[in-house]
A and B are shown apart, each in its own frame.
Chain A
Amino acid sequence: MTTLFRTSSLAAALIAGTMALTPAAFAQDKVITHAQGETTISGVPAKVLVQDWATLDNLAALGVPVAGVPSSNAPGYLADAIPADVLPLGSLFEPDFEGIAASEADVYFVSGRSAAAYETGKDILPTIDLSVNNTAIIDGLKENLTKLGEIFDKQDKAAELIANVDAKVADAKAAAEGKGTALVLVTNAGKLGVYGPDSRVSWVYNEVGMPSALDSVKDGDHGGDAVTFEFLLEVNPDWVFVVDRDAGTTENTGAAQALLDNELFNQTTAAKEGQIVYLDAQAAYITMNGYQAVTLLLDQVIAGLQK
């Protein structure tokens, strides 16, 4: 506490000093270029709102506290990063702009599902869109960490996190070497879809480097493309990574296991060899590109592949 107090008073003294010397330079304006344009941030934002779980995930990893988060679908692994008195900002798709306007926050982050909130948000307070391209989730994550490091003056921490991500990806790559083909499946209310190399779990193919069991899989952006168990039997992937959407959005678990335990799927190489990895559904489906989500998922992939 004392250290914190000292640091902040030191900072205050510094700022006061700068102010006295060159009032014009005080603003320390940073122009942040992002997915939907440029936004100017004055100084280091103190009160931070995020309308996106991946950004909260990144900020938590960087050690930046937040004042407002979405009010639904909080991923379980992020529970500790959400303060008890946090301001609920509405759902990912429908932000509560009145609350946001009244909050007098310094910066507002949107991304992905909430990217549409940028248009309204930018008129209320400095708004930054950190959307990430699904086909390059790891690069997008690293870019966002760099950007956030810059905004919050945590460049060193950001560089450290980026190095961790790179190391994890390298580990996963090494683990995946020569392990055969993979297919990422999404299960939802008893139905089955496949995710391709352009989807939200593209990193399994593009970054970890597991060749897709089927090269023609098209981008299954949302629920994946609907397929039958016969399809799985014919494609016969060596490894299957499962995103259990039911478990991602609710407390229900085990639905995916029950769905996949059938006479046809059990004949695939993946099932026979026990090469099925159930990914953390909240990290994979809800967060997708946060630091902790990605490292958690990569850890699961590495653990699964090394089993």
Chain B
Amino acid sequence: MPALIAGMIITIALAIVSLFVGVSDVSLASLLSGGWEGRPGEVLLISRIPRTVALVLAGASMAISGLVMQMIVRNRFVEPGTTGTSESAALGFLVVTIFAPGWPLMAKMAVAALFALGGTALFLRVLRAVPLRDVLLVPLVGIMLGGIVGAIGAFIAYRTSLMGSMLAWNMGDFSGVLRGRYELMWFGLAGCILAYIAADRFTVAGMGKDFTTNLGLNHRSVMILGLVIVSVVSAVVLVSVGSIPFLGLIVPNVVSMLIGDNMRRTVPWVAVGGAGMVLACDIVGRLIRYPYEIPISVVMGVVGSMLFLYLLLRTPRGAK
């Protein structure tokens, strides 16, 4: 518990740093002299606080959806980016952009979430047909499926000259976040809370279908709940800021290495860790080429791929 509190303090400190990093001069002194009416106060309210909140929500909810995904698939190396979920959400967003460009963002997001749901369900269906449940085979199947869905999306985008927009959606970037433009992400918080409430069920479901049924739990409904959480979170983040790679993979794995697999215990850790990691990467992206920005998905890609390699290559404990 003290360790969790320490983690929370670090994340809160990062959030505070995030509030004071940017092009406009926002500092405690300028805030005190200008008040809420002055420019520093306005920038803080309109731009900095929304961005920081969006970062926390995106980080926590993406990390948790990775955790949920790993529980229901029973594999450590999956996350929405390696199961075709993100690609399906992007495909849905693309389709609705083509056929109903005038729809409100909320409706577009709902379509993206439905596609994400369909894509993830397809992934689970394909997995059932894979006889060998090798640890690395599962994410490979997912990456291939994601590749196929992504290719369909790329084809449609190419034919409709939407390639540039498609690339922009696939690139997570918080530079456009302002008051009034991120609020959909609160759905991510709903997903986190739902995951926490149902944590014990996911832990049990993670032990397999027969085991779950023996304990009197409906395996199918737990799976569906998990799918819904993962799909909604992926769609919300994609529509609001674009996709963020590796997050759902790295954070739950690191947490699991540190404190084990009991989901009721890991959910707060994963949420805090995800938020902290996204905050740190975004702050780095804002500082490297100041006053311009480097999209968070680039920073996360570099940091995440290194951590991912480490996770893959590290010697299992006790194997020496």
Contacts and interface: CB of A to CB of B under 8 A. Distances in A.
Interface string A189-208: 11110100000000000000
Q: Looking at chain B, what size class is its interface with the partner chain?
A: 20 to 34
B305 interface: no
Interface string A64-103: 0000000011000000000000000000000000000000
Q: Looking at chain A, what size class is its interface with the partner chain?
A: 20 to 34
Interface in A264-294: 264
Given A189-B168, A190-B168, A231 B47 contact: no
B176 interface: yes
Interface string B166-189: 001100010110111100000000
Contacts of B291: 227, 231, 234
A223 B169 CA distance: 14
Contacts of A194: 292
B24 A188 contact: no
A230 B173 contact: no
Nearest to B177: A228
A178 B175 CA distance: 32
B168 A250 contact: no
A192 B289 CA distance: 16
Contacts of B161: 72-73, 249-250
A263 B164 contact: no
A142 interface: no
A32 interface: no
Contacts of B22: 228, 230
A262 B168 contact: no
Nearest to A193: B292
Given A192-B176, A263-B178, A250 B162 contact: yes
A230 B164 contact: no
B43 A233 contact: yes
Interface in A187-243: 188-192, 194, 218, 223, 225-231, 233-234
B23 interface: yes
A264 B292 contact: no
Contacts of B293: 225-228
B176 A230 contact: no
B294 interface: yes
B178 A262 contact: yes
Given A234-B23, A249-B161, A250-B162, A264 B168 contact: no
A164 B232 CA distance: 56
B165 interface: yes
A264 B178 contact: yes
Contact of B178 (A188, A229, A234): A229
A230 B292 CA distance: 11
A188 B46 contact: no
Given A226-B294, A228-B175, A231-B23, A188 B47 contact: no
A246 interface: yes
A226 B176 CA distance: 9
B107 to A, nearest CB: 16
Contacts of B315: none
Contacts of B208: none
Interface of A: 72-73, 188-192, 194, 218, 223, 225-231, 233-234, 245-246, 249-250, 252, 259, 262-264
Interface of B: 22-24, 39, 42-43, 46-47, 101, 160-165, 168-169, 173, 175-176, 178-181, 289, 291-295
Top 8 closest A-B pairs, CB basis?
A: A189-B168, A189-B165, A225-B292, A231-B23, A249-B161, A226-B293, A230-B24, A228-B175
12 contacts: A188-B164, A189-B168, A191-B173, A226-B293, A233-B39, A234-B24, A249-B162, A249-B164, A250-B160, A252-B101, A264-B46, A264-B47
